[in-house]
Structure 1
Amino acid sequence: MRVGLTLYGDLEGRSGGFRYDRKLLDGLRTAGDTIEVIELPWRRYPRGLLDNVSPRFRDRLEVDVDVMLQDELAHPSLLGTNRRLPYPIVSIVHHLRASESRRLSPLYRTLERRYLETVEGVVCNSTATESVVTGLGVDATATVVAPPAGDRFDPPIDEEAIERRAREDPLRVVFVGNLTPRKGLKTLLEGLSTAETDAELTVVGRPVDGEYAATVRRTIRRDGLADRVRMAGELSDDELAGALRASHLLAVPSRYEGFGIVYLEGMSFGLPAIASRAGGATDVVTDGETGVLVDPGDPAAIARALTRLDGDRDRLAEMGKAARRRYESHPDWRETTARVRRLLEAVAAPEVRT
C-alpha cells in the first residue's frame, strides 16, 4: 500500500505521540508499504481552523496515496479540508482535546465530532480512548485499539533486583512528564508534603508552561520540600533510564492520559505507578496490583499511597514484580502494526483491497 501520514510538527519530536507515529511507520515500511509524510506547522486552534478555507493548504494535502493516516491532534486544520481530499482517511487518536479541557470541552467535542465524521476508520491507543471516540458517534466496527509497545528501554532486570531495591531507603519516587497542569505535578507535590514518609522525588520533564513551572517551584518552597525534590529537567534516554532504574515508584497523577506510555516504560524497570483513574492509564495500571489509581486532583489519595508503600516494602516489592510481568505481557510493535494495517487495508482504495 501507499500510506500517508499527516501531522502537526516534526515527526522526530520526543513526545510519546511522535514516538508512536514513528514506530507505526517503521512497522508499515517493514511490511512493504511505501510512506509519505506531510508535516504541518503547529497552529493555535483558531489559526488551524482557518486552514479549512485555504485552497493552498488543501493543495498541499493532495498526494497520491491509497490511504492517509492523520494524527488527530491536527484536526483543527482538517475537519473541513478532509471532505475535499481524494483518498480514504484513518485517524490516529492519542487523546481527544475534549478530554483535556474543562472550560472549552463542549466546543472541542463539537469540532472533534465533525472531524471524526470525515474519516473512514480510527486507530485508538487505549480502550478508554476508543470509548470516547465511539461516544462521539464513530461506529465501533471502524475502530481498532492498537496500544504503544512501551519498549523504549527494555532493560534487563530480574525479580531479585526488584526485591533488593525495594528494601533500600529512602523511598525514591520519579515523575516523568512535561510541566503542564494536565500532568498533575502540583497535586503530587501536595501529596508528598502531607505523606507520612521521607520519600524523595525526582522530577523529569521540560517546563513547557512557564507559569505552571513557576507555580510548581512556589509549591516546593511553600511546603518545605526543597531538600526532597530534585528538578532534573529534560534528560537524555540514557539519563532517564538511570533515573528510572534508581527509583522505587513512578508517580504521574495526570488529569487525563489517552494511554500513558510512561507507565509502561516505568513498569519495564519494575516500577509500580501512581496514576489517575481518568483515561487510558487503567489499561496498564491495575489498582492494588501493578500500581495505585487515584482520582485526578486528589493529593490526599497520593499521600495515603506513598505512606502505605513506604511502610510496607514487601508489598512494594510484589507490586514491582507484578509491574514488570505486566510490561512483559504487553503487545509488541509488530502486533500493534498488524492491527493498524488490517484496518488500513479495509478502508484503502478499492484497487488495493482486491
Structure 2
Amino acid sequence: MKIAMLTTVGERCGIAAYTAELTEALRRQPRMQVEVIPIDVGHQPLEHYQALARLLNAEDVDIVHIQHEHSFWGGILPGHSAYWTMRYLIKKPIVLTAHTTYSLAQMLRLKTERRPHIWLAKKILTLRRAYRDSVDIAPFATAYTIVHTKEAGRELVVRGAKPQNISVIPAGVPKTLPAPAEGSEFREKHGLLGKRVLTIFGYVVPSKGYEMTFDILPSLPSNTVLVVAGGARTPESEPYVSQLKERVAQAGLMDRVVFTGYLSDEEIAEAMAGTDVVLVPHLQATGSYSVMVPLSYGMPIVSSDLACFREIQERHACMELFRAGDKNDFLTRLLAILGSDTRQAELRTQSAEYAQKFSWDEIAKVTVQTYRDALKAWNVQPKNFVPLSMIKPCVKEGKAPLK
C-alpha cells in the first residue's frame, strides 16, 4: 500500500514532528510505502494546488493522508482558506488527521470576547451556516478521520460525522535524544543552578495557562523558578510573548520566570534533564505534542484535566491532574508534588511506562488498519461518507457547506 502523506515539514512545527515520527514508523510496517508531500503553509495560488493534486492523484497512490490544521490553508476567516480549492482536486480515498477539532465559535473565542462590536461581528460569522459548516464539520465528514481523543470523536459525530468513519488513535510518544551535560549547562545558562525548576514546554500560545501559573508562583517556595521553554510559532504570535514578559515584569517576577525562546531538539533534551517538574496547565486543548515530549523523557507532569489529558491518564496513570482553570487546585497539587520526592519518582516511572506502551511502532500498526478500513469505506462510499458531490461547491469563497 502506498500513502501520499500531505503534511508540513521542518523543525519548528509540532505537527511536522508528529508526522515525521509516524512516517518513519509506517515505513517499518510490512508492504507499506509512504511518500511525503510537503504543505506550503498559507493560501497559495490555484496553480500550486493543481500541481499538488497531480502528485496526490498519481496512479500508484492508494490513499492520501492529510495532516489537517486550519492555519495550513490560510486560516478560518471567510475567503482566507484555500483548503477546499485543494480538496476538490483530490480524487483518491482520503484519511485526514484532525489536529484541531475546536468549533468555529471556540476558535473565534466568542465566549471571552469583551469588545461589543467585535463580539457582534464574530457572532454573525457563527450564524452563517455555510461558512460555519465549512470549518466545523465538512473537512472531517468528507474523509475517514483520525482524532487523538474519544472526546474529539464524539464532538465530530455530534456535528454530523459518521461514527464508522472516525478512528481514535492517540499520538505516539516521540523518541528522545541524549543529554550529555545532564541539564547542567541548561541550568547554568539560564541562572537555574540551585533552583527547583518548573517548565511549560512548547510554542507560546494563549491557551497554555501561563497567566494562571504566574499567579500561583509567589505562593510556591522562593527557590522555585518557572521556565517558559519555547517561543512564538509565527511572527503573529510575537506580541503575545511580549505581553507575557510585560506581565511578569509588572508582577515583580523577573527573577522567577525564564523565557528561553525557541529550543532545538538537542536543547529540549537538556531542558528536560534540567527540569524537576513539567507543567501542562492548558485551558484549552484537543491534544498536545507538548505533553508527549515530557512523557517520552519520563518526566513528572502536573496537568489540567482537560478531556485529552484525562484520556492519557485513563490509558495509563502517569500524570497528576488538577481541575482546569482552578488556581487553588493547581497550587495544592503542585505543592504536594514538590514536597514529595517519592511521588516525583513514581510519576517518572509511570511516564516512562506510558512512553513504552504507546510507542510510534504501536501507533503505526493501528494507523495501517485505519487505512484498510478507509479503503473499504471508499468502495461503498454512498453508504459511508458524506461525499463531495453532496457539498455545494463554494471554492471561490473557501467554503464547503453541507446541504
For Structure 1 versus Structure 2, the TM-score category normalised by the shorter chain is 0.7 to 0.9
Structure 2 Cα separation of the partners of residues 154 and 283 of structure 1: 26
Aligned to 1:221: 249
* 2:228 corresponds to: 203
| 1:341 is aligned to 2:333 | no
Paired position in structure 2 for 1:3: 3
Identity of aligned residues (%): 18
| TM superposition score normalised by structure 2 | 0.71
Counterpart check, 1:89 vs 2:94: yes
Write the letter of the residue equivalent to 1:102: R
Q: Please tell me whether the aligned partners of residues 87 and 349 of structure 1 are also in contact (alpha carbons under 8 angstroms).
A: no
Contact 1:67–1:349, Cα closer than 8 Å, also in 2: no
Residues 151-174 of structure 1, C-alpha deviation per residue, up to 9 Å, x if partnerless? 321779xxxxxxxxxxx9743211
State the partner residue of 1:23.
21
User: SS where residue 174 of structure 1 aligns?
Assistant: strand
What are the superposed Cα offsets for residues 15-45 of structure 1, whole Å, 9 maximum, x if unpaired? 33112212222233333333343333322xx
**Total equivalences in the alignment:** 331
Is the contact made by 1:3 and 1:35 (CA closer than 8 Å) also made in structure 2?
yes
Q: Which residue number corresponds to residue 40 of structure 1?
A: 39
Q: Secondary structure at the match of 1:4?
A: strand
TM-score, structure 1 length as denominator? 0.80
Trace 1:48-59 onto structure 2 (pairs within 5 A): 54=46, 57-58=49-50
Q: Distance in 2 between matches of 1:56 and 1:235?
A: 32
Q: Which runs of 5+ in 1 are unaligned?
A: 157-167
Give 3-state SS (helix, strand or coil) of 2:27's partner. Answer: helix
Q: Specify the code of the residue in structure 2 equivalent to 1:172.
A: V
1:91-110 per-position Cα deviation (integer Å, ceiling 9, x unaligned):
01122242554226946565
Who is 1:60 aligned against?
Answer: 52
1:112 is aligned to 136
Q: Matched residues in 1 for 2:107 and 2:232: separation?
A: 18
- The superposition leaves residues 111-145 of structure 1 with CA deviations (integer Å, 9 ceiling, x where unpaired) of 231222221x1122233332333333222222222
Aligned counterpart for 2:175 among listed residues 145, 152, 162: 152
Q: Distance in 2 between matches of 1:197 and 1:286?
A: 34
| Pick aligned residue for 1:123 from 146, 168, 183 | 146
User: Which one is further off, 309-318 or 232-241?
Assistant: 309-318
- Counterpart of 1:129 in 2: which secondary structure? helix
Give me the whole-angstrom Cα distance separating, in 1, the residues matched to 2:47 and 2:264: 41
Match for 1:60: what amino acid?
A: L
Q: What's the CA shift for 1:292? A: 3.0
1:140 matched to 2:163? The reply is yes
Q: Tell me how large the CA RMSD over aligned residues is.
A: 3.3
Q: Report the alpha carbon displacement of residue 190 of structure 1 after superposing the two structures with TM.
A: 1.8
Q: Is the 8 A contact 1:155 1:269 kept in 2?
A: no
What secondary structure sits across from 1:284 in the alignment? helix
C-alpha separation in 2, matches of 1:38 and 1:286: 35
Aligned to 2:176, the other structure's residue is in SS state coil
Q: Residue 244 of structure 1 is aligned with which of 268, 272, 283?
A: 272
Cα distance in 2, alignment partners of residues 151 and 2 from structure 1: 23
Distance in 2, matches of 1:193 and 1:288, equals 32
| TM-aligned CA deviation for residue 344 of structure 1 | 1.2
